[in-house]
Amino acid sequence: MEKNFSQFLCNLRLTQNQREDAKKKYEGVINCLARHFYDRGRNDSDQYLFGSYKTKTAIRPIEDGSDVDVLFKIDNDSYEKYKDNASGILQECRNALKDTYSTTEEIHAWGKVVLVKFSDGTHNVEVLPAWEKSDNKFFIPNTEDCGSWETFDPRSQIASFQESIDSTDGLTRDCVMMIKNWVRNTITMKYKSFNVVQDVISFANSIYSSGKRDENYDVVVRDFFNYWVNRLSDKDERRSHFQTALNRANKAVQYEKEGKHIEASEEWRKIFDPKLFPHSDKNEERENEVNRFSTAPRPWSH
């Protein structure tokens, strides 16, 4: 099953073209805003990329809502101008972008972001205008509830994710990608990507803090479902979905141990997108002598 999981991860990763397309789009958006606010082209210090494109956990297929998240850093003058008018900065950004992305793209400003929706149906760009504070955090506008500015700290989120990737030898990233696919494939479950990342970090740091080593992906993913089934409250509407996934994962792991690769892969294809998780087409012939018993000593500890 390890090969199936490796192929699955390859199927999830963005292609070179997709990554380049995303970069071209968000740099284009930042370039447009830099010309408007600073009368010059973009430079790297104008932006801070965050979210799944920064952490390299964006997955295929690119769907509506697969947005590239990027901060555009506004200067002190702009902040002073709009500090009592949060929606004003969003509108100015929106208007600046409309000059460039005039007819074919949709541009919306609400909440905290300006969304540039591209007509080619691939990556959209969500840009947050943000004022960088002296503590390296950002102040971002929020137009809800009469409008205000709030602190946003993407750097610490990225840092904790990177730390987890480094210590788990990349396992955290792999798990985030796979679980995001499970979430997409479980259409009645609401589970935000931000929470997926936090939950995977918590699980990986606790259980596989040095990486998966010689453990197999099927056991790691099963352990993720088991970990959270044991921690989610009964009132959490995700719990039943986690339990369903765990039941299937348990079956899959047992089938795999018996050499029943076809059955094992079918269980995983109920959890993950069957268009992306490979099907096994051959079982192994194994002599699995089953020791059946009906009485046994009771375990103890002192």
Partner 1 sequence: MVTLTYNEISWLWKVQPGLTYIHGANLLAGTFKFTAQYRTLEKITDSYDLVIRFTSNGILPEVYETRGKIARMAKIAGKQIGDFHVNSDGTLCMIREDKVYSIYKNGFDLKLFINHLMTHFYWISYYGIYGKEPWIAEEHGYGYLLNKLLWTKRL
Site of interaction with partner 1 (CB under 8 A) = 206-207, 223, 226-227, 229-231, 250, 254, 257-258, 288-294, 296-302
Cα–Cα dist 244/233, whole Å:
15
Residues 6+ apart with CB under 8 A from 39: none
Cβ at position 260, least distance to partner 1 in Å: 10
Cβ at position 112, least distance to partner 1 in Å: 36
Relative orientation angle of helices 171-185 and 2-12, to the nearest 10 degrees: 80
18 CB-contact burial (10 Å; exposed 0-12 / middle 13-18 / buried 19+)? middle
Cβ at position 142, least distance to partner 1 in Å: 36
Report the residue number, 52 or 280, with the smaller CB distance to partner 1. Answer: 280
- Strand 113-117 with 47-50, pairing: unpaired
Cβ at position 69, least distance to partner 1 in Å: 32
Report the residue number, 65 or 297, with the smaller CB distance to partner 1. Answer: 297
b/e string for 188-200 if b means 16 or more Cβ within 10 A?
Answer: ebebebeebbebb
Cβ at position 128, least distance to partner 1 in Å: 37
Q: Could you tell me the two tokens for 268?
A: 């995983």
Report the residue number, 65 or 299, with the smaller CB distance to partner 1. Answer: 299
- How far from the centroid of its chain's Cα atoms is residue 108's Cα? 23
Cα–Cα dist 227/212, whole Å:
15
Cα–Cα dist 200/173, whole Å:
9
DSSP string, 117-168: E-TTSS-EEEEEEEEE-TTS-EEEEE-STT-EEEEE-HHHHHHHHHHHHHHT
Report the residue number, 193 or 205, with the smaller CB distance to partner 1. Answer: 205
Report the residue number, 235 or 292, with the smaller CB distance to partner 1. Answer: 292
Report the residue number, 73 or 222, with the smaller CB distance to partner 1. Answer: 222
- Strand 47-50 with 67-74, pairing: antiparallel
Cβ at position 283, least distance to partner 1 in Å: 14
Report the residue number, 167 or 250, with the smaller CB distance to partner 1. Answer: 250
Report the residue number, 115 or 229, with the smaller CB distance to partner 1. Answer: 229
Cβ at position 255, least distance to partner 1 in Å: 9
Q: Could you tell me the two tokens for 58?
A: 């964006």
Q: Which residues pair with 108 in a beta bridge?
A: 115
Cβ at position 127, least distance to partner 1 in Å: 40
